[in-house]
Homo-oligomer: A and B are copies of this chain.
C-alpha cells in the first residue's frame, strides 16, 4: 500500500471526524436555541449548515478518487464505503439540526410552554448516541457501536410520550397549538437523529467486521439455549 494511499485514507477519516463534530455541535446548539429561546443562535445553526453541506461534497469527491485511483480491496474498501455512508448520514443530521432550529425560531416568538415534554431528555440521549457513534468510528470500536444500537428504542418511546403529552396539552388549552406542534416536530427530528446515529454505528460494525447488522439481524436472533 503506497504512502500516498495511507495519507489519503487518513485525510478521508479526518474529514468525517470534522463533519461529525460539526453535526454534533449543530444539534446541541439547535436544542439550546429552542430551550433558551435564542433566535440568534437558531439563525446561526441554519447558516452554518452550508459548511456541513460543503464537506459532504468534498467527501463524495475523495471517495470517487480513492476508488478510481487506488482500487482498494478488503478492509480499506469497507472503510471507504462506510465513510461514504456516514458522510450522507451526517449531512442529514445537519438537516435535522436546521429543522430543529427553524422550530426554535418559531417557538421563541410564542409564549413558551411550562414543560417542554421529554425534549431535554431526548436531546441528551440522541447527542450521546451521536457522540458515541462517531467515537466508535474513530476508534473502530464495535462494542461502543453495539451500545448505540441498544439505545435506539428509548428514543422511540420518548418520542411517543412527547406526542401524547402535547396532544393532552392542546386538549386542555387550544391557545398553545402552535407551540405544541413545534415541539412535536422537534421530537420527531430528534428521533431521526437517533436513527441516523444508529445507521452510523451499523456502518462501523460493517467496516470493522465485514458483517451487516442492518435491519436488526443481530438483535433479532432467537435467544434459545440448546434443545
Inter-chain contact A167/B171, CB cutoff 8 Å = no
Inter-chain contact A60/B177, CB cutoff 8 Å = no
Inter-chain contact B214/A56, CB cutoff 8 Å = yes
User: A181's closest neighbor in chain B, by CB?
Assistant: B167
Asked if A53 is an interface residue, CB under 8 A from chain B, the answer is: yes
Asked if A212 is an interface residue, CB under 8 A from chain B, the answer is: yes
Q: How far is the CB of A20 from chain B (nearest CB, A)?
A: 19
Interface string of A136-177 (1 = CB under 8 A from B): 000000000000000000000000000100010011001001
Asked if A25 is an interface residue, CB under 8 A from chain B, the answer is: no
A167 touches which of B85, B178, B212, B214 (Cβ 8 Å): B178
How far is A185 from B84 in the complex, measured between Cα atoms in Å? Answer: 30
Inter-chain contact A74/B81, CB cutoff 8 Å = no
How far is A185 from B184 in the complex, measured between Cα atoms in Å? Answer: 10
Asked if A224 is an interface residue, CB under 8 A from chain B, the answer is: no
- With a cutoff of 8 Å between Cβ atoms, the chain B residues found around residue A53 in the complex are 214-215
Inter-chain contact B181/A174, CB cutoff 8 Å = no
Inter-chain contact A163/B177, CB cutoff 8 Å = no
Inter-chain contact A81/B57, CB cutoff 8 Å = no
Asked if A68 is an interface residue, CB under 8 A from chain B, the answer is: yes
User: A184's closest neighbor in chain B, by CB?
Assistant: B181
How far is A64 from B203 in the complex, measured between Cα atoms in Å? Answer: 13
Asked if A127 is an interface residue, CB under 8 A from chain B, the answer is: no
How far is A196 from B181 in the complex, measured between Cα atoms in Å? Answer: 24
A174 touches which of B61, B77, B84, B170 (Cβ 8 Å): B170
User: 5 smallest A-B Cβ distances: which pairs?
Assistant: A71-B71, A53-B215, A68-B73, A167-B177, A171-B174
